[in-house]
Amino acid sequence: MTTKTFLHGKPIDDVIECHEHVSPVSLYVKVLLSLFVLTGLTYAVSFADLGPASLWVAMIVAFGKATLVAMFFMHLKYDDRYHGFVFLSTIIFVAIFFLFPIFDLNSRARLNEEQGTFFRVNQAGDWNEAQRTNKGQVEAEAKAAAEAAKDAAKAPADAKAVAPAKP
Amino acid sequence: MSSAHGQGPKAPHAFFQHHYNTVEQQAGAAKLGMWVFLATEILMFSGLFLAYFIIRILYPEMVLGSHELLSKTMGGVNTVVLLFSSFTMAMAVRSAQVGDTPGIIRNLIMTIGCACIFMVVKYFEYTGKFAHGIFPGKYFDYGRAAAYAAEHGHELVGMPHIFFGIYFTMTGLHGVHVAVGIGVLVWIMLRAKKGHFGPQYYSPVENVGLYWHIVDLVWIFLFPLLYLVK
């Protein structure tokens, strides 16, 4: 019994065919020059003050370069599409892997603020200094000690205030 | 362009293994295996990239303050060197496809040369950091690193040892891949010298090429994220 097999939507006889494609040298040279241009672009853009957009610009250019390398140097454009499927499914799983922690980190500050549950040491003051001297902890300890002393001073007074009423 | 594809099945070659039906099946199995390996490589690096993004989100000032100490020029030179080596690697595979053995050897030697230049630049970058107390993790010398940063008009913010921990781990693991790459490139170059490769059989050249391109792809993302991004 024979089964009809399809590849890229066309019936084929040989199911174990390996696809080959010899690209012209000029194509490789063009890809290399494009990669150099894109590298120069990211390098130049890094000196411009783009603020938060700089990460996006750098990532878009990096994805462009990666696409050129994968399509032409790694032959994915001409290759058996199954190899592209393996590659793209990896990228999709990496995207899922990145999505949840990054979503969490970017949204938890708002949630914490809303519920008043969490404090970051560096929200106010000099984070650098706080790190070097453990300022946050030192301050917290000093505050706790001061409060304890205040309570201790208050306690006899309270005792006195309460004491006369007792007998 | 002449292509072996479409010219009918290939004749068995010296490296044709008995458990495959055809030469094409053997080449296809080798290539699919390589792609699955590359998928695991991407997933391994993705963990480190995510670690980078997490520290970047949590401590943006620290990442921005620390990354100024990395040399954009050295990183840029290494990027150009690796991109060029990817080109020569692709040319080596092409030479194998068209049966040009001297071409394979010539292109592989250029690729190995670029890989060595990359490692030498990396060596100077690392020793330059070590000289100023910039070590990964707990070996980080805050005082010396801060003095070095001040000399160059930058200020260290927060916990730079975490940034440099990520920097050394990511570039270090990438460097290990380059070193392994040099090893496998030398291996296929020696085999090419024995005349093992031609249009009939070039799977090792092609698969080492795929590996080399993945090493390049990782660097394409490492370079802007570690050296350039503000």
What is the ipTM for the molecules in this complex? 0.89
The pLDDT confidence band at residue A166, using thresholds 50, 70 and 90, is very low
3-state class (DSSP) for residue A10 = strand
Quote the distance between the C-alpha of residue B24 and its chain's center: 28
**Of the candidates A22, A66, A91, which has its C-beta nearest B97's C-beta?**
A22
Q: What is chain A's mean pLDDT, rounded? A: 77
Q: Which amino acid is at B23?
A: V
- Within 8 A by CB and 6+ apart from B57, the residues are A102, A105, A106
Residue A27 has pLDDT above 90, yes or no: yes
Detail the DSSP E strand segments found in chain B.
none
Please indicate whether, in this complex, the C-beta atoms of A98 and B9 are within 8 angstroms of each other: no
For residues A135 and A139, give the distance between their C-alpha atoms in angstroms, rounded to a whole number: 6
| Whole-angstrom distance, CA of residue B187 vs CA of residue B189 | 5
In this complex, do B224 and A25 lie within 8 Å of one another by their Cβ atoms? no
Mean pLDDT of the region A152-162: 59
Q: How far is B49 from chain A (nearest CA, A)?
A: 9
pLDDT tens for A100-124 read 999 988 887 777 777 766 555 544 4
Mean pLDDT, to the nearest integer, of B195-206?
Answer: 92
A61, B56, B57, B87, B160 from A55: Cα distances, Å: 10, 11, 12, 27, 20
Length of chain A: 167
Q: Which of A11, A16, A58, A65 minimizes the C-alpha distance to A37?
A: A65
pLDDT of the residue at B227: 92
pLDDT classification of B14: cutoffs 50, 70, 90: confident
Domain boundaries, chain A: 126-162
Confidence grade of residue A137 (pLDDT, cut at 50, 70, 90)? low
Where does residue B203 rank: exposed (0-12), middle (13-18), buried (19+ CB within 10 A)?
A: buried
pLDDT beyond 70 at A159: no
pLDDT tier at A78 (50, 70, 90 boundaries)?
Answer: confident
Q: Residue A45: its chain B contacts at CB < 8 A?
A: 228
* pLDDT of res. B137: 78
CA triple B55-B61-B227, angle to 5 deg: 70
**In angstroms, how far apart are the furthest CA atoms of chain B?**
69
- Three-class SS of residue A65? helix
| Residue the block writes with tokens 């999709």 | A92
What tokens does B104 get? 């394979």
Identify from A26, A69, A96, A108 which residue to disrupt to test chain B contact, counting B C-beta atoms within 10 A and taking the largest count. Answer: A69
User: What is the per-residue pLDDT for A152?
Assistant: 80
Per the prediction, chain B carries an average pLDDT of: 91
pLDDT of res. B230: 74
Summarised one tens digit per residue, pLDDT across range B203-217 is: 999 999 999 999 999
Distance CA B148, CA B134 (A): 9
Rounded CA-CA distance A132/B159 in Å is: 9
> Is the model more confident about B228 or about B211?
B211
Angstroms from A56 CA to nearest CA on chain B: 9
Identity of the residue numbered B110: M
pLDDT at A155: 64
Helix (H, G, I), strand (E, B) or coil at A11: strand
How far is residue B77 CA from its own chain's centroid? 14
Q: Residue ranges of the domains in chain B?
A: 45-228
Q: Are B156 and B142 in contact (CB under 8 A)?
A: yes
DSSP lists the bridge partners of residue A11 as A6
Span B176-205, mean pLDDT?
95
| Cα(B174)–Cα(B168) distance, integer angstroms | 10
Per-residue pLDDT, A19: 61
Q: What is the CATH number of domain B45-228?
A: 1.20.120.80
Amino acid at B148: Y
Q: Scanning every residue of chain A, which has its alpha carbon at the shortest distance from the alpha carbon of B209? A: A74
Contact (CB<8Å) B24/A14: yes
Predicted local confidence at residue B44, as pLDDT: 96
What's the rounded Cα separation, in Å, for the pair B175 and A63? 21
* E-strand stretches of chain A: 5-7, 10-12
